[in-house]
Each structure stands twice: as structure tokens, then as C-alpha cells.
Structure 1
């Protein structure tokens, strides 16, 4: 069958995207976690040649049920309580169970990977604490290598510091929390406690104080 002979459900797709607050095909692709090609196949009437797992992701992205999706893009394939509708519901439940199992597996893998990164710290840190308690005069600089696995783990998670302690930066109330006093946006402040962000998400604001200038 040539591409021109395929049905075109562009209008129906646009209506569903509008109802879901999605402005573009690329945005739907990201939300649903499928490639734009899979959505184009759906739009050109190839729903029944697409795997149920892909259809399920697209239906969730559009905030409709799998049955509603097929009613729009594969008219006649689902009708009331027919056997095909029952089979579809069973497949949906099976996929839901499968996804829950996959989440559990991924969580366990994430835990194992995190423990692997932290292995040297887990094995050595209790001994370091014991040595420090025995010898309070131990130079703190010698302890710095032992926290590197923790720093590596944060990097693996995409967690970044906003600014290092001691850095002088322009004050930004969205990123910084004043310890005392007031400051104007852009005024120089010094970081006392670092803050963190993960991608575009702010985790903790950095705690800052005003840079003291010599009195005239």
C-alpha cells in the first residue's frame, strides 16, 4: 500500500494533543517516551501494526485509555464488550504488571550500581572515623580522598553544586538564601553553604552572606 493510500488521522491527533495540553509532535514523543516515527505510524492508520506497548505509552501521553486510542485511530477494532476488547484489557493488565516488574528490577539495579560506586567509602569510612576518634590531631586534608566516591555518585545522578563554598557570586534570590541582612539582585555575596540542583530542578539553595567592604 502506498503512503498516499493510507488514512490520515492528523486532525484527530491534533485534537487529542490539544486536550492533553501538548503543543507539538516532538513534545508528545518526549512525554510518551516513543519515537516520532511511532506517532506518525499511528497518525497514518497503522495502529494495528504497532505493538501494544507503544500504543499504551502514546495513550498515556495523551491521557486517554488504550481503548479510546484504538477507537480513534483504528475504527472498528474495538466495540463495546467484544472479545477483542476483553483481550485488549487483558493485554493492558499484563503490560501494567510487566512495567511494575521492570521498575522493581531497575530499582534493584540502581541500588547495586550505587553501592558499587560507594564500595570504597563503605569499607573505609568507619575505619577513618575510628582513627579520627583515636587521634583528634589527624589532619583533615587527609580525609578528603575518602569522600570522593560520594561526589562521584552525585555526578552519576546529575547533581551539581550551584557554587563552591567561598565563591563570590552575584546575588540571585532564586538560587541563593541570605543568612542575614538584605541584598539587591546582582549584589556580590559569598557562598557559606553550597546549594545543589539536578538538571533544571533546584534541590537546595546556596546559603550566602553579603561581601563585607572596608568602611570608608
Structure 2
């Protein structure tokens, strides 16, 4: 169009006498929608022969289709990436909701879960206690914790070096690294400490581990 001193499609409309709709049809390669006299007007406006016009429109149509196809592919890829990002964000939110729900349930049952392993240990030493049946029932809680990925911190009456990150002492003068006994187990979820194990320098009643 620049060779014919036409700077825009609007200028071409005015010079050729074609409507905007008709020029859109030309740009889409739909030259079959135009009458012969309309094509001749367009050719004269561009200083082309009718044969050159038809040939050029065929090339133009192919080029525009290729550009349109490339643009469509780019747009589809962008949409795919956005969908993938949204899926990842939704999965992260879902995982966080599950984590929050598990921790909320754990904290509601924390007293029971902390005392249960100690009660089980006592029953092992004194199987005639009435609590034996209750401990068997509470085994389902232990299975639930395993399914959540929760782990014990220590085992009942185990002797371990005191670690303030993992252990809650019964007195304030216990030093880091000092040997202590676990009275009540703690719980952790990976590196996250849910509750520390309760420890003491001695076992209840002077019992040996």
C-alpha cells in the first residue's frame, strides 16, 4: 500500500470506494465474496493489474493465516501455563488446608495422645490392670497418627541426652546434653515439632529403664 501512497486501510477504503467490511473480507482472503468490479476498483487504487492483485491477495492471505496460527499457538501455550500454575497453587492450598486440619485435630487430642504411650508402657509391665482393654482401643489413634506422617519424639522411659528443642524438662536446671528419661513422648511432623517430649532426671518411683 505504501507504494501507492496509501498509509492506512482507511485511506484504501476512500481511494478504492470499498466498504470497511469488504476490505476485511479481502484481508481474510475471502476475495470470492467481492464482485469483479470491486476487485478492479481495488486494483486501480493500488496501481496494480487485476492479475497482480489476485496473486498478491493469495500470498497475503497465506501469510496472515500463518501469523494468526502462530499467535493462536502462543496464546494457547500461555493459557496452558496459567492453568498449570493455578493447579499448582490450588494443590498447595489444599495441602495446607489438610495440614491445618490435622494439626487442629492433634491439638484437641494432645493430652490423650501424650499420655497414651505411657499408659501402654505401664500396662505392658502390669498386664492385669483394668486399663489393658482401653489401651487396645487407643491403638487406632496411633495408626491414625502414622497415616498423617506424625512421629513420636522418643519412647516412654527411654534415656536420652537432653535437647531443649525436643524435650520439655520438669525442672529448669537441666542442662543441654544431660541424660534424662522420657516420661511422656512428644510428637513431630518432619522437622516441625508439634509438642516436645516431657523429660525428667529420674523415672517414676525410682524405676530403672
TM-score range relative to shorter protein:
0.3 to 0.5
Q: Which has the higher helix share?
A: 2
TM-score, L = length of structure 2: 0.40
Larger Rg: 2
Higher relative contact order (CA closer than 8 Å, sequence separation 6+): 2
